[in-house]
Amino acid sequence: MTSEKLNNKIKEKYFIITALLILIVIAVLGRASYISFVEGSAWKKLGNTQTKQEIPVSPLRGNIYSSDHQLMATFEPRYYLAIDFCAQGVNIDTLNKYIEPLSIQLHKMFPNKSPAEYKKHLINGWKNREKKDAKGKIRKNRSYRLLDHYVDYIQWKEIEKMPYFEKGRYKTGLHKDTVSMRVNPYGTLALRTIGSISKEKNENGKTGQSGLELYYDSILAGEYGTAVRRKVNGQTIDVINKKPVNGKDIITTIDITIQDITEKYLTNKLKELNAESGTAVVMEVTTGEIKAITNMGRTERGYSESLRNYAVADLSEPGSTFKIISMLVALEDGLIHPDDSVDTGNGVERIAGEELKDHNANRGGYGKISAAQSIQYSSNIGIAKLILKAYADNPARFVDGIYRTGLNKDLELEIPGYAVPRIRHPQTAKNTWYKTTLPWMSFGYETRIPPIYILTFFNAIANNGKMVKPIFVKEIQENGKTIEKRKPQIINKRIASENTLNAIRQMMDSVVNHPKGTGKPAHSDYIRIAGKTGTAQISQGAAGYTAAGKMHQVSFCGFFPAENPRYSCIVVIRNPAAAGASGGQMCGTVFKQIAEEIYAQNKIPNTNILPVDTLHPLVPKVKNGRSEQSIYALKKLDIKYKDSLDGQWASSRLRNNQLVLKKGEIAQNSVPNVIGMGAKDAVYAMESSGLKVSLAGKGTVVEQSISSGTKIIKGQTVTLTLK
């Protein structure tokens, strides 16, 4: 074959191949055009049935733990139990055989229904296994509910073992639907503070409804992922495009043991008093960590965690616990000294045109007492007269002093719905500032303060003047690792001077540990407690405080151990039905029980090795007597003092935590005053005046049988009582 013929044959083949390729391309393009323009809508519909874009994939919500890592809120599977009475293996004869023992077992596990009611319920399910719908068509009921509520895994496994159900699903029709539910393993413990969630997001895109669940919703919730849903071999599957990010865990400051103790003793007292509600909060002094918080309210079934978080949201008049705040401000301003005298009369007095009573008015009142005793006895008249005398010409200075401590500041708490104190100022509340406002404010009326703010103030007294913010969450964790740790937040570095704080702590100590203190019911033989009682009448709207059937709020706030405070605590009880509303008797006893049990649970470090005592002054008490001996002892002990002496006798006084020696005088022609002297100096002074002395007791002279200033009769015997 010639080369020319060969080339022609090759060209023919190329032409045929090219023609075929062109025809194929034309066919493909034609078919594609037909599919796109003629069958396009049908294929799109089919595609939409096969694939759906951007299906949200829920993340796992983070857990909430106690400070010792006990689960307080988590997601767990729960089961909705139902019976398919139309299942092939189910028959009425078998059901009737086992229905009696089954009903009894269901009643034992869930006693809200009697065995007879369970039996009736099961028979009703069998009778209604088939029903006609509105169109007359027979419908089978394959999911007849067994119980009105969900059950957990352990309950589900127990039900599977019950008579009849133990035969299995196919012969009994019992089956379950599984859902994931937010549960609180410790029930109602701190439930109002832990909070709750809802199934649907609110208008702000959050599922948290209240408490920490709401405040930390963005941290707990995590981030949604996305998936594509496809049908494969007749089954629908989700293909993950973007993995969800699970929520982080939060570690609260709540101590389960302390929380349980606090709730138990508060609830017991509420039952005893048949009170409307009660609140108790325990705070760690140095950190501000809330170790327990409970809000109990009375219901038809007894007492349970209230719907309202009274501890942070209740704006009420605190009553006499506020006297500590008033006294601290006045001491710090230098307008009152603990030894200052105030006359409370017979317990009834008109102040600013209104009658004011002390709680012992029916017993004749306290008469003349010291400023410190006005706290110890909780005298309304005493504190009102002291504050009125100090600030009557400038009430703004008093309120400024309260503001200076930080009590009025917004604590920015982690509990949504918390309230901020309402403490009026005479310059900004001129229309509502009356003559009675200042004196009544001094003992806890005319102001509205949530309990946690009062606790924060008292905690600062225990914390050497440093006011710290109450905190409810100490850590945030991700996959078991700490990613954020909370530190104490300081509101005020020092609410008062050391001298003022020492004086206030001594007053609070005397309230509880002095035989005549109003807080004596809080006294413990195991752990020393310092605090203040509070009793306030609750205003009843238009009727004010004079309405029939008066309502009261009683409280006790303090800290323990008093010498080296570890915890502060407040107990508030509202509207006790029992007569004789008393902060000491009603709340002080609860405080004592909480403190003693916390101590018994080894929640307080060994108190045998203690730092410097902040309760009692470091300056010793010096007896009245001969000055040279007192000075000799003070110099030997290297104790600083001031004096204005020009004679051999001296009297001592503690002023601003510093010892002051003043000139003492011994009368020449009358019986000398030896009160406050030791036995040696007292005998010397009396015998130098020509008197004979008889001693009773030991220590310091507290009483002399012949009053000082009486004319001396030589050789007469005077009896000196020493303690």
Give the start-to-end residue ranges of the domains of the chain: 1-40, 64-250, 257-600, 619-665, 666-723
- Summary count for the chain: helices (H), strands (E): 21, 33
Mean pLDDT, residues 102-131? 89
pLDDT per residue as tens digits for the range 384-438:
999 999 999 999 999 999 999 999 999 999 999 999 999 999 998 888 899 999 9
Token pair for 196? 């709750």
pLDDT greater at residue 608 or residue 211: 211
Mean pLDDT, residues 309-336? 95
Sorted by sequence, the CB contacts under 8 Å of residue 309 that are 6+ apart come out as: 192, 193, 211, 295, 415, 417, 418
pLDDT given at position 3: 65
Contact between 61 and 220 (Cβ < 8 Å): yes
The CATH class, in words, for 64-250 is alpha beta
pLDDT per residue as tens digits for the range 234-285:
566 777 788 888 899 999 999 999 999 999 999 999 999 999 999 999 999 9
pLDDT band at 641 (very low <50, low <70, confident <90, very high): low
Which CATH number does 257-600 carry?
3.40.710.10
pLDDT above 90 for 301: no
pLDDT band at 47 (very low <50, low <70, confident <90, very high): low
Q: At what angle do helices 451-462 and 322-332 cross, to 10 degrees?
A: 50
666-723 folds as Trypsin Inhibitor V; Chain A (3.30.10)
For residue 80, give Cα distances in angstroms to 83, 102, 154, 181, 243.
Answer: 10, 18, 13, 11, 29
pLDDT band at 22 (very low <50, low <70, confident <90, very high): confident
Q: Which of 50-54, 156-160, 220-224 comes out lowest in average pLDDT?
A: 50-54
Contact between 52 and 237 (Cβ < 8 Å): no
% pLDDT > 70, the chain:
84
Token pair for 380? 């309304």
Cβ-in-10-Å burial (0-12, 13-18, 19+) of 86 comes to middle
pLDDT above 80 for 548: no
pTM greater than 0.75 (yes/no): no
pLDDT per residue as tens digits for the range 76-90:
888 889 998 888 888
Round the average pLDDT of the chain to a whole number and report it: 85
Contact between 680 and 639 (Cβ < 8 Å): no
Alpha carbon distance 657, 619 (integer Å): 7
pLDDT per residue as tens digits for the range 601-626:
888 875 444 445 555 555 566 667 66
Cβ-in-10-Å burial (0-12, 13-18, 19+) of 369 comes to buried
